[in-house]
Structure 1
Amino acid sequence: MAVATEFSQHTHASPPEPDLTPETVVARAEAIAAGLVARQAETEARGYYAEDTHEEFRKAGFYRILVPRRFGGYEFGVDTFARVVMTLTRACPSTGWMYCLGASHALVVASLFDERTQTELFSGGDFICPATVVPSGTAERTPEGGWRLNGTWNYCSGSPYATHFLGHTMVSPAAGEPAGPMMFIVPRREWTRLDDWGLQLGLKGSGSHGIAMRDALIPAHYTMDTHISQVTVTDGTPGRDLHGNPEYGGGQLSFMVIEDAILAVGMARGALDAYEDLMRSRTAPFPPNLPRAQDPDYQFWYGQAAGMIATGEAAVLSIVREWRETSAEGPAAITQELEMRIAAVCHQVVELCWRAVADYLFPTAGSSAVRQGERIERVWRDMSMFHSHAGFAVFLSTIAKRELAKARFGVVEAAH
């Protein structure tokens, strides 16, 4: 089409470092992470990671990992993104959570929206777009055919440095018809971040603030008549065709739950790091008061937790590989059963990592090691908070299991 050709001629942009490699980006994450551990308390007190950390992430290219190359991104893919997230989360769970849930939705935009919309949304190069799945607020049609949004959307992780917001609301297709979900993207200039984060049990520094809109205006092409959890890609996506990259045609729901598993592994590895320091520096409390590294009980507790966490990491990296390989097979390979099976595996990863921390590392670390602000105590709080997240507590724990069985056995529920 002539319109598509016109866009293509004007939207190609080189990333800031055209020769940057995935290996270098991961190495940069490891270097930055080394300084994040000491800043965890500061991050919690602020409610989000510092502006100089944000600038480090920007210069390192982290906000362009999933942005298409034609729009100035690096298009390094889900595997590179997973390793960066895991590395940052291992050092500081709040920082990793905030980065992950802000930067990850570049994949959604690059997959589901058309060329015109992507050209506009990715115009800044760096893309940070928190999202929520719970519909909220109201949307009204404007005379020009766009939408006017009003309301508040809570738990928008990644909002402090965001360039956009992805949310949902309920709209009626016509007068008298039942309302259905509408997904939308809103640029930063159209909303306000609220000062309502930091009193929660954990993930205090994750920048999960609410955002408010008052007469926010967006064009119709920034919306889709669906909910992100109900998107199907078995017929292809605009992004797969536009970019020639099968990862922009991968399962959207399964990618979201993969994020949960990556974050859980990163958090648990951070707790294991702290426990290892205790193994090297402290003695067992009862005679013969051996150094913990030489005490049979502590050896068992460490080894058990280490094995559980390593199993979780192996599982999530395997799932990331399967997600990429299935995407490459073509749209028809991305079935509901596949998406729900990935979700089931991700739930087990989160549970395995949680049990390693809650059953072995936290209870045996010692009272002084779990005082407020200590690293293991912080991970325990953060993972406890993780369990209250709707994506885990409701979807992964319950809904995904039923949907997997229904997809496997072809169960179709009757319309009410």
Structure 2
Amino acid sequence: MTEPLADRRIPAGDDYLSREELDAITPEGLIERTRALKPLVAERAASAERQRRPDDEVWNALRRSGYFYLYVPRRFGGLEFDPDTYISATLPIAEACPSTGWTACFAAEHNWLIAQLPEATQAEVWGRTPYVIAPSVAAPPGTATPVEGGYRLSGRWKWGTVVMHADWVLLNALEAREGAPPIVRMMLLPADQVRVIDTWHMAGMAATGSNDIVAEDVFVPAGYQFAVQPVRSGRGNGRALYGPGLYGSPMLPNLCVTASIPALGAARQAIALCGERLKNHVKMGSGNASVEKPAAQMRLARADLLARSAERTIRWAAKENLAIGEIDEPEQTTERIRLRAEIAIAVQQCVEAVRTCCEAVGSSVHALDNPMQRLLRDVQVMQSHIVYDLDVATELHGRALVGLPPNSLLL
């Protein structure tokens, strides 16, 4: 039986910003641009969920905003803004629709991965598409078979966030070696060389459109891939080309920060909606406004403090990751493990903040036209991401504290 293909949109590439337009964008200006999009993103959140993909008009508006140039190096015409600007520019999108925020921030961040490819490849790719819209999919890994001039790539990958509007795809694959562990390679190929299978039917995060991706014996030139291991510690081509800092920072903490921003956005929006509801709601049987109820006040306060604590952790971790790229192994692995655990706890705080707000509001939160129920469902799916498995993250950190080696490859 033939599996249904997803109705994706490969960009036409006719809406890139001019050099003059990009030169005029400051970090503060980009943040203002994404804030201005928040009403549109919120308006389309419910329909995006029904369509199981980011809304096309919203996505096109994000393209025109300059947001996707965030992590493209200046050398190749990008903005190359710092992680704190990245967080601040993403939050308005994530507040309006965590699923759209999730998809957008991964699309922007994956240009960091392009910066790990050989310099000639970067010039070709960003010369063709001034920023890349690509999923980066690790599991389950495909197979990379060496051939003359490159590799033959085959596999089926799940969790293809960004694929519905992608012009490229980044796919993890294993190159088998006799008598040695396989090499994990990240492969870049045009989006029209893969099939996207319509599999994304989820209780939350539905609007991400994270469908399965299939590649069947696709040739990938040698220059369009990199070995993942050195990039994990910030020792890839990004450091060789651009020096320490953003492109020489360790890979996994960057992923953890990226995936935490939508959870923070959901928490902040839940707090705002909860506050509005409490001001205007009269509790049945009492005749008093809910805002006068101490328990409601305490719940709102607790949620606010949880979100504030999480935001401090996430922003600090993003900055700290730039510094730990300068630490050598094995000490750096210990620091990466700690950052992963800290951000995992921050995400749990965001989830707790959303739940607390929903408890304060009452049964009306579960009406399908109430955006809070979507926030709740979205964060519940978000927290299941592998890097936020709190048991795994804290076990790794605990092992490091007592001098035991890590028992996971996701470092």
TM over 0.5: yes
- Aligned counterpart, 2:196: 193
Q: Supply the distance in 2 between the matched residues of 1:36 and 1:324 (Cα, whole angstroms).
A: 31
2:256 matches 1:263: no
Question: For 1:366, which of 353, 362, 365 is the aligned residue?
Answer: 362
Q: Which amino acid aligns with 1:222?
A: Y
Aligned length: 388
Task: Give the secondary structure class of the aligned counterpart of 2:77.
Answer: coil
Change (3 A) 1:75 1:186: same
Q: Does 1:310 align with 2:308?
A: yes
In the alignment, is residue 102 of structure 1 matched against residue 100 of structure 2?
no
- Out of 146, 150, 167, which is 2:150 matched to? 146
Matches within 5 A, 1:380-391: 380-391=376-387
Root mean square deviation, CA, Å: 2.4
Residues 260 and 346 in structure 1, CA contact (< 8 A), matched pair in contact too: no
Residues 1:173 and 2:171 are matched in the alignment: no
CA contact (8 A) 1:157 1:208 kept: yes
Task: Report how far residue 159 of structure 1 moved.
Answer: 0.8
In structure 1, what is the equivalent of residue 335 of structure 2?
338
Amino acid paired to 2:233: T
* 1:366/1:400 CA distance change after superposition, 3 Å: closer
Question: C-alpha deviations, 1:33-75, integer Å up to 9, x for none?
Answer: 1221121111111122222212211111111100001111110
Measured in 2, the distance between the counterparts of 1:390 and 1:15 equals 41
Shift of 1:342: 1.0
Q: Distance in 2 between matches of 1:170 and 1:345?
A: 30
Paired with 1:95 and 1:322, the residues of 2 have a C-alpha distance of: 27
- Is the CA contact (8 Å cut-off) linking 1:58 and 1:126 kept in structure 2? no
Structure 2 residue 122 is the aligned partner of structure 1 residue 122: no
List alignment gaps of at least 5 residues for structure 1. 1-12
Name the counterpart of 1:4: none
Structure 1 stretch displaced more, 154-163 or 314-323: 314-323
CA distance in 1, matches of 2:262, 2:270: 13
Report whether the alignment pairs 1:205 with 2:207.
yes
Alignment of 1:286-325 (within 5 A): 286-287=285-286, 289-325=287-323
Change in CA separation of 1:292 and 1:167 when aligned onto 2, cut-off 3 Å = same
Q: 1:113 aligns to what?
A: 117
Kindly report structure 1 stretches of 4+ aligned residues shifted beyond 6 Å.
none
- 1:182 aligns to what? 185
Residues 353/18 of structure 1: CA separation in 2 closer, same or farther (3 Å cut):
same
Displacement of 1:245: 5.8
Q: Within the alignment, does 1:90 sit opposite 2:95 as a pair? A: yes
SS at match of 1:205: helix
Asked if the contact 2:351/2:383 (under 8 Å) is kept, the reply is: no
CA gap 1:185/1:348 in 2 versus in 1, 3 angstroms: same
2:372 partner letter: I
Which residue number in structure 2 is paired with residue 26 of structure 1?
31
Aligned partners of 1:135 and 1:170 also within 8 Å: no
Quote the residue 1:10 is aligned against: none
- How far apart are 1:331 and its partner, in Å? 5.2
Distance 1:126 1:101 in 2: 13
- Does residue 160 of structure 2 align to residue 156 of structure 1? yes
- Measured in 1, the distance between the counterparts of 2:87 and 2:40 equals 20
| Native 8 Å contact 1:14 1:69 kept in 2 | no
1:108 alignment partner AA: L
Residue identity in the other structure for 1:69:
R
Shift in Å, 1:413:
7.3
C-alpha distance in 2 between matches for 1:326 and 1:20? 29
- 1:213 Cα offset (Å): 1.5
Structure 2 unmatched ranges of 5 or more: 1-17
User: For the Cα contact (< 8 Å) 2:140–2:156, is it kept in 1?
Assistant: no
TM-score (norm 2): 0.87
Paired-residue identity, % = 26
